[in-house]
Structures are given as structure tokens and as C-alpha cells.
Amino acid sequence: MSEAQAPLHHRFHLNMGPQHPSTHGVLRVILEMDGEYVLNPQPVLGYGHRMQEKMAEARAWPGFYPNTARMDYAGALHYNHGYCALIERLAGIEVPPRAEYIRVITSELNRIASHLLWYGALLLDLGAFTPILYTFDDREQILDILEDITGSRLTYCYFRAGGVSRDIDDKFVERTRAFITRLRSRFPMLEKLVNGNVIFLKRVEGVGIIDKDMCQRYGATGPVARGAGVPYDVRRAEPYSVYPEFDFEIPVGENGDSLDRFLVRFKEMEQSLRIIEQALDRLPDGPVMAKVPKKLKLSPGDVSFAVEAARGELTYYLISDGTEVPYRMRIRVPSYSNLSVLPELCHGMLLSDLVAAMGSLDLVIPEIDR
Amino acid sequence: MSKKGYFTELYVGGKSLLVGLGVTFKACLQPIVTVQYPREKLDITPNYRGHIELRRDPESGECPCIVCGMCARACPSGCITVEGEKKEGEKGKTLTVFALDFTRCSLCGTCVETCPKGAIDFSQDYNIAGFTREEFHYDLIRRLEERG
Ligand code: SF4
Ligand code: SF4
């Protein structure tokens, strides 16, 4: 029934969240419902706001390291990376090549872990319980590998301005190689279980179409934009670290529906594996930490740095007044822009389709609220 | 939709479900991957970053802390309190208070990295639970003595 025909007394409001299994965090969406159809969904943010930007402005810059990981708990290393690279750019610190390689390897492992988590969670939202158990099994291997060198399982605080806090050893290299083989052998299984499943395809095909124009208007990045056919990836568009040295593809979709976003992330895992493999093959020797003065005053001026996080473009922007404490810190997070498409995207959708479309955006709420 | 399209879809769809079921069935016959916690426990890596702990110098058997307070100043959350006093006949200060407020610690490791004497290290404790905040205010000197 179209909006104009619907008698108004059939309309009602429905709160999805703040505690709802499919929002994966404290996100509240106010839905105006017309029967089973959603009109004008409005996200309400701020339940997990912790003033991360303000905290950065209230302490000497090294004190912000642990905070970076608390924004996106599923892809913490990318947040570590962005912040350290920002400081390095401002202070003109050269990072030793070995440290850059370690950063790339661990970041890509983290990207895979994040995608595996999302993969299982999306299917859980769609009502399939089994796949998350398989992807968690694989993700657990990554967490074990990363725990062994970073010391923590989720909220890593591993990168430092000038390098990384601990060198990797042969055991790490060996385990990572074993993991690459293992995950590659699991892809066909996941394809059989999920990607070809008729129920899954019916739930996501043609649902939640985001086109290029919409991506541009809302600033959507990452797999959301790539699913719409925009081949934008910061690792290519604005290369940082040692990414230009590796050969990898940027998967893009065609229609921009939920299925395309799903497939883009699925293919990205293989690309990340390729990057890790190349990086392990060419891993240089040397120190993992540059000489950085204990007390480093940030030179006055402003600087920004963008990295490709698991969910899209993450930009740190810092204004310094010449002291140790940043004068202003601004963090542009990908999920915020990706979420902002929701009202337009889901207007007039079935409620169950909204869950599928929202799941395909891969939202991490603490990152949006930050 | 034509009749043929309908039946083809029925066949392809039905087959995909059976293939998926096959995957699940195969997994049933594979070894169990989960650990029956708390009856079974996994060893954690020695590199695990738990809360901090004072450590002894393996040679002298004493804690090498010189009460410089650098760890306390470097901690972004301000959860370390260090105090020392000057004792007769001893060089430098002697550590009298080393308190950690674990409720605020973010396990970043900055303190361990800044310590010039390597007097602090991460513990391996991860099974920590309590009913009050005070249970997480650790007296690290006492803990060091208890460990012997
Ligand atoms: S680990 Fe970090 S937050 Fe915890 S006591 Fe040390 S410096 Fe402070
Ligand atoms: S633990 Fe280390 S940094 Fe802290 S007061 Fe003692 S010597 Fe100084």
C-alpha cells in the first residue's frame, strides 16, 4: 500500500533499540510503521558517547593511544594506525620498514577478523545461527595470533608513533601462514553454506539499493561505496604505509544492494590474505621502533591522516598549538556516514528488510558515538 | 513467472538448502573446537597484558624500583600512586607505596614501557571478579611480597 492510501490510524511508532540484538550496540532507531512497512526510520545516537575527541584534547598526545582502540572494537588496529601515523606526519618521524610491514600484516589480520565478525552477525540478524559459529572459530585463530604479540584480544594498543611496541617472531609468521591456508580452505565451505543459499539470497538480493550518487551525498565509504560500484579505497586512493608495494584488487559491486556489499566484504578477505602473504614473504629485518624523544612537543599547525578501516575511511584531524596536548582533535569515522543513509535507504521497506539492509552496512555503534 | 522458472527455482533453491545441510552435517562429525570452561582451561600466552605487577630483579631478588614516579606521570588514566622515603644508610629512596587503581586502568602498557628500571611487568591474571570497587585497588608491594 502506498503512503498516500494508508489510513493514518494504522500508523504507529516502534522503537528499535537501544537494546536490540540487530543494532549490535546501543543504537536506537525510531520507526514509523504502517503495518509491516517502515516509513521514515530515524536513528538516535549518543547512548555510548564518551567524548573521545575531548579526551584527546585534555591529555598529552601519548595518553590517547588506548582510547583509539575503544572506538571501533572490531577493527582497533586501524584506529591505532591512523593515530600513530597522524603524529608521525606532524612530527616528521620516519618509521622503520619492518615496523610498517608489521603494521600492514596485523592491520589486515584485524580487517579479516572484523569482516568475519560482521559475516556471522549479519546472518544472525537474518535468522541463521550456524554461520556465526564457523566464522567465530576462524576469528578466534586471528585473535590468538594477535594476542600473542599485542597482549590483548580486542582493544589493542600496539602501534606507537615511530613503530610498534613489540617485534614479531618466527612463531607469529608460522601461525599466520597456517591461518592463511586454513581460511582459504574455509571459503568454499562458507560459499556452500551461505553464499548460494536460496533463503539468504532472497533476503538480500535487491534489498537496500545504494547508488553512487547516494554514496556521494552522504559520504559513504568503504564496502558500502564499493558495493555501489565506486572503486574508492584509501589504500589505493591515498596510499599510506607500505601499501603501494603490494599487489591486490579492490572488489566492487554492480547494483549496490545488500548482496553486493556482502560479496565485496567476502572478496576483501581474500585480498587481505594476499596482502599478508606478500608482506610475510618480503618482511625486512631491522628495528621496529624509530628514535622518538620521550617528551615530544607537537609542532604548531594542523595535520590530517586517513586510513582505510574495516568499515571505510577513517580520518584523524589534529590542530596543534605547539604544546604536548592537542588543541583540537577531530575524528571522522566511517560508520557515522554509512548510517546516515538509513532514513532514505529504508523508507517504505518491510521491517525484516530493514534489518537486512542495516546489517549490510556493518555498523559499529561505539565508533559512531565515540 | 513461468511454470518452468518456478520449478527451476524450486530445484535450485532446494538443492542449495541440502548443500548447506551437508556442511552442517559434516561439521557434526569433526572434532569439537570449543573448550569446556571452567572445567577445562586454555593456557594463555606469556605475552598477555594483564594488570601491572612489580617484579624482582632476577639477580638481586629485589624490586629495582627507584621511586622516580615516571610510570605514574606517564599513565593516561592516573591510576598509579608511587611514594617512597629516604632511609638512613641507603642510596636513593625506598619504595613505601605502590598502589594501582585497576578500575581505571586501560591496560595500555605505557607505564611498563616508560619505567627506566624495568621494575613493572604485566601479570597473567585474567579471572578477576569482585563485588566492590575497593577490591580492585591493588597494593602491588603486598602482592609482590605474597608471591615471595
Ligand atoms: S597500563 Fe596504562 S592505564 Fe594501566 S596503569 Fe599502566 S599506564 Fe596506567
Ligand atoms: S616502577 Fe619504574 S617508573 Fe615507576 S617509580 Fe619505579 S622505577 Fe620509576
Q: What is the pLDDT of residues A110-152, one digit of tens each?
A: 999 999 999 988 888 888 888 888 898 899 889 989 988 888 8
8-state DSSP, A241: T
Q: Which residues 6+ apart lie within 8 Å of A33 measured at CB?
A: A11, A12, A13, A14, A39, A351
The alpha carbon torsion through A105, A108, A110, A111 (nearest 10 deg) reads: 180
C-alpha cell at B66: 627507584
CATH number of the structural domain spanning residue B81: 3.30.70.3270
pLDDT of residue A7: 59
Q: Given the CA of residue B82, which atom of ligand 2 is nearest to it? A: 5
Q: How far is the CA of A356 from the centre of ligand 1 (A)?
A: 40
Give me the number of domains chain B comprises.
1
* Interval between CA B133 and ligand 1 midpoint (Å): 17
Residue A5 clears pLDDT 80, i.e. is over it: no
**Does any domain span residue B81?**
yes
Q: Among A184-198, A280-294, B1-15, B31-45, where is mean pLDDT lowest?
A: B1-15
- When pLDDT is averaged across residues A302-322 and rounded to a whole number, the result is 90
Residue B5: how many CB atoms within 10 A of its CB?
A: 9
Q: Which pLDDT belongs to residue A109?
A: 92
pLDDT of residue A111: 92
Contacts of A144 in chain B (CB under 8 A): 45
Q: Is residue B2 part of a domain?
A: no
Domain of B77 in residue numbering reads as 52-147
Given a contact cutoff of 8 angstroms between Cβ atoms, the answer to whether A146 and A110 are in contact is yes
**pLDDT of the residue at B116:** 84
Q: Is residue B96 part of a domain?
A: yes
Rounded mean pLDDT of A33-39? 86
Q: What confidence tier does A9 reach under pLDDT thresholds 50, 70, 90? A: low
Q: Is residue B42 part of a domain?
A: no
Q: Which residues of A touch B23 (CB under 8 A)?
A: 189, 192-193
Asked if residue A53 lies in contact with residue A370, where contact means CB atoms within 8 angstroms, the answer is: yes
Q: Using the predicted structure, report yes or no on whether residue A295 has a pLDDT greater than 80.
A: no
> Is the pLDDT confidence value at A59 over 60?
yes
Judge whether residue B2 has pLDDT over 60: no
> At residue B16, does pLDDT exceed 90?
no
pLDDT band at B35 (very low <50, low <70, confident <90, very high): confident
Sign of dihedral through CA atoms B68, B70, B72, B78?
A: positive
pLDDT at residue B15, as a whole number: 82
Ligand 1 midpoint to CA A363 (Å): 30
Q: What is the total residue count of chain B? A: 148
B30 within domain boundaries:
no
CATH of the structural domain A8-368, one choice from 3.40.50.300, 1.10.645.10, 3.40.50.720, 3.40.309.10 = 1.10.645.10
Q: Looking at ligand 2, which residue's alpha carbon is closest to its atom 4?
A: B71
Tens of pLDDT, residue by residue over B128-147, are 888 988 888 888 888 888 87
Q: What angle do CA A177, A181, A184 make, to 5 degrees?
A: 135
Question: What is the rounded CA–CA span in Å between residue B103 and residue B134?
Answer: 9
Secondary structure of residue B94 in the 3-state scheme: strand
Which of B24, B49, B110 has its CB closest to that of A151? B49
3-state secondary structure of A199: helix
The pLDDT value recorded for residue A369 is 85
Q: The complex's ipTM?
A: 0.80
Contact B47 A166 (CB under 8 A): yes
B94 touches chain A (CB under 8 A): no
pLDDT at A1 over 50: no
What pLDDT score was predicted for residue B1? 47
Check residue A114 and give its pLDDT: 92
Global pTM? 0.87
Q: Is B88 a domain residue?
A: yes
- Nearest-Cα distance to chain B for A57, in Å, is 12
Question: Where in chain A are the domains?
Answer: 8-368
Query: Which residues of B, range 56-75, sit inside 8 Å of A by Cβ?
Result: 74
Q: Does B106 score more than 90 pLDDT?
A: no
List the single best residue of B12, B16, B114 to mutate versus A (max A Cβ within 10 A).
B16
Q: Which of B77, B98, B102, B122 to mutate to test the pocket of ligand 1 (most atoms within 8 A of CB)?
A: B77
